[in-house]
Amino acid sequence: MGRVGSWLKERVPVSPEAIKAAGNEPVAGHLKLWWFALGGTAAMLFFGQIITGLLLCVYYQPTPERAWESVRYITGQVPYGWWIRSLHKWGANLMIVAVSLHLMRVFFSGAYRRPREVNWFIGVTLFLLTLVLGFTGYSIVYEQLSYWGATVAANITESVPVIGKGLARTLRGGEQIGAPTLSRFFILHAAVLPMLLLTLFAGHIALVRLHGVSEFPLKGQPHPAPYPFFPDHLLKELATGLALITVVTCLSVLFPVSVGPPADPINTPEHIKPEWYFYFTFRWLKLSSLGMGILGVTVAVGLLFAWPLIDAAIRRRRPNSELSIAFGAAAVIVFVVFTVWEALS
Amino acid sequence: MTLEAKRAIVGALGFLFVGSLVAVTIVDASKHRETTGPRPPVIPADSKGCVDCHSRVTPLQFAQWSASKHGEQGIACLSCHGAKPEDPDGFMHHEARISALVTPKDCGGCHAAEAKGFAQSAHGQPKPGLEIHLVAGRPDPKTWPLPLVGRRNPDGSAGSCTTCHGRHRFELADARQPTVCMTCHLSDGSAEAWQRSPHGGFFLTSSSLETAKGPSCTVCHMASRTGAPTHDVSARVSWAMRDGKLAQRADADARRDAMTSTCLLCHGGPLVEAAFDRIDDTFNAGVPSVTPPPTAPYLKSPAAWPHLSPGDRYELAKMQGRLPNEPRSSAQP
């Protein structure tokens, strides 16, 4: 063992002590609070998505002739296929919830402020990537609703001034959704977007480590002392992970994922609805004209991105301004109202 | 929260997770899956003796039945071959009284609507001289197997379901293939006319019935958009050959209307009407007097079948024995 150890140490010159020290870095005390674990929750869900996604790739075939049939086969015939697919779907939904809650936590605790603006930009990009991953994943099932959802999305893209037509054509690989679209969406969903997400995620974590976790003073409470990563924080992460996989598994058993009718390019369904996380956008598009709808979504995303800069400008004039809290609360209320409205309609 | 409390939470959650996996396994085990390997047939007690012997004596016949819907549902040898004492075509075979002939009347015991439609159709009409003779209850090999359509069965029925459905496997998809219709209709010209029309051309570009872009014979002559398909394949055919002459069938208008409503599923009214007018004109003009008389005179008329090229008509005439089998270059019109 000693000889093997010294052989390995010569070729991998990293001492176990250094690894232990890196892992044992004290964790900021306020991370004991559960709502500060939402970023880690999203990350854990994402790694779950990679595993279940790879398993689904074993059987999934991204062609118009085989896509729906292969999903049906996974759901109905492959042993535990329904479970893996349900885990992937519920995992995706919970990941969107976790990312959104994490984003809200960072926003309302002001953790995006100097010097963490760049990490906010990365975080918002990660949030948008998560939504696009959800959309592409839903589309490649190639059932009637997902096909028409993709068609509507491509048509909306087409209406974007200047770049819209070219962008929609590039995304679809032609004038309508078909074989080229499916291969594009599949490559985006299974390779490009996850790689991009992983890369940005690494940058996100690196910046957190470089800046340190933002301090969050809790009113009326003494500042909690830092605590060791091992075993305290690791146990907490383990508990979170176990709770998540149990919740997702229970959801999969209680509400297993189904397969709708296959895509029929000739018959438009009476009611087209996107997945719930696009209800907000869908309702907004219904309320306004197409041009105003696109403009509104663009402004909303722009505001979300640039908020650290806007907030800094406001706070230069009025250092104690709580405008960001009021603005954030209003945005959340509008989001919830629009989502519920669309869900009930 | 103390470390002990955290450990307890992790332990409890781990326990819950294992519990959820048990639930997953129970749900997975309860799911009905189609088996991918060979599925054993259901063999009822009365047919067990037949199967024991025939799985060795006629193994391919047994294999076909095993893989059929009948095999799946336990419709076995005696369900179709069993004969009552009063059946003229029955004879004793080991301990069972059986019949070698399975007639439309036998099939109609379960498939009543299909047998009724079939009996009304041209397929179900007996022809003189095609009677099956029995010797001690067994069909005389000199008269059996006769051409199946037009055959007069000892039980009074005519024709045979197995002409289109085959024996022992009874695959529906087989009966829907135009190649099955062609076993008879290749010689009367109608199969060629279909093959060389856009209907046949586009059907034949597809690799399967499910992806077919053109209709096969059964789509226009049997299928129904709203109800069960008809087995009266003549119900939509208004012209027929009688004694070498083309004649309109009884209820020709009703038959034409039935076919028209089928055509309208894909084509516009004026086009359908014009096509039928053209065909009527051609058929009304009568059979051209040529020697030997052609079996499919309408194939000679470009007006009725504009899709047939002169070369195709020549090939068809040759196939039907109306032209000498000589090099095409010298005799081609």
Q: Give per-residue pLDDT as tens, A152-208.
A: 899 889 888 899 999 999 999 988 888 999 999 999 999 999 999 999 999 999 998
Residue B309's pLDDT band, with cuts at 50, 70 and 90, is low
Tens-digit pLDDT profile for residues B247-304: 888 889 999 998 998 888 889 989 899 888 888 887 787 655 444 444 555 555 544 4
Mean pLDDT (whole number) for B160-182: 88
Contact B31 A76 (CB under 8 A): yes
d(CA A283, CA A35): 29
By CB atoms closer than 10 A (0-12, 13-18, 19+), residue B260 is middle
Q: Say yes or no to pLDDT of B183 above 90.
A: no
Q: Residue holding tokens 């012209």?
A: B239
Which three-class secondary structure state does DSSP give residue A107? helix
Provide the 8-state DSSP code for B122. G
**Cα separation, B17 vs A244, whole angstroms:** 9
B282 Cα to chain A: minimum distance (Å)? 38
Write out pLDDT tens, residues B218-228.
999 998 766 67
Give yes or no for residue B327 having a pLDDT over 60: no
Element (H, E) at B92: strand B90-93
H or E stretch including A53? helix A38-57
pLDDT recorded at residue B311: 58
Q: What is the mean pLDDT of chain A?
A: 89
Three-class SS state of B137: coil
3-state DSSP assignment of residue B34: coil
pLDDT value at residue A234 = 81
Query: Which structure tokens are listed for A153?
Result: 């999305």
Looking at domain A31-213+228-272, its CATH architecture is: Up-down Bundle (1.20)
pLDDT confidence of residue B289 = 46
What is the C-alpha to C-alpha distance for residues A115 and A118, in angstroms, rounded to an integer? 8
Q: How confident is the model at residue A41 (pLDDT cuts 50, 70, 90)?
A: confident
Residue B60 scores a pLDDT above 90: yes
Query: pLDDT value at position B321?
Result: 55
Measured between beta carbons, the chain A residues lying within 8 angstroms of B3 are 231-232, 235
> Poorest-confidence range of A116-130, B23-37, B80-94, B154-168?
B23-37
Mean pLDDT of B123-148: 81
Identity at B76, one-letter amino acid code: A
Between B121 and B313, name the one with better pLDDT: B121
- Is the separation of the CB atoms in B231 and B252 below 8 Å? no
This model's pTM is above 0.90: no
Q: Given A76, A232, A252, which is nearest B3 (Cβ)?
A: A232
pLDDT at residue B333, rounded to an integer: 39
ipTM higher than threshold 0.95? no
Please tell me which of the candidates B9, B27, B33 has its beta carbon nearest to residue A77.
B33
- Length of chain A, please? 345
User: How many A/B residue pairs have CB atoms within 8 Å?
Assistant: 52
Share of chain A above pLDDT 90, in %: 54
Contact A27, A70 (CB under 8 A): no
Look at residue B96 and give its three-state secondary structure: strand
- For chain A, which residues make up each domain, given as ranges? 31-213+228-272, 274-345
Distance between CA atoms of residues B104 and B81, nearest Å: 12
Chain A residues in contact with B31 (beta carbon < 8 A): 76, 82
Choose the closest CB to A80 out of B23, B28, B34.
Answer: B28
Which distant-in-sequence residues (6+ apart) come within 8 Å of A268 by Cβ? Answer: A148
What three-state secondary structure class fits B248?
strand
Closest residue, chain A, to B16 (C-alpha): A246
Instruction: Give tens-digit pLDDT for A308-332.
Output: 999 999 999 988 888 899 999 999 9
- Higher-pLDDT residue of B322 and A186 is A186
**What does the alpha-carbon distance between residue A213 and residue A36 come to, in Å, rounded to a whole number?**
10
pLDDT of residue B291: 45
Is the predicted pLDDT of residue A125 greater than 80, yes or no? yes
Average pLDDT estimate for B86-108: 91
Amino acid A300: pLDDT? 93
- Say how far apart CA B138 and CA A232 lie, in whole Å: 90
Looking at residue A13, its amino acid is P
pLDDT band at residue A220 under the 50/70/90 scheme: low
pLDDT of residue A86: 94
Residue B327: Cβ-neighbour burial (10 angstroms; 0-12, 13-18, 19+): exposed
pLDDT at res. A278: 92
Identify the pLDDT of residue B279.
Answer: 81
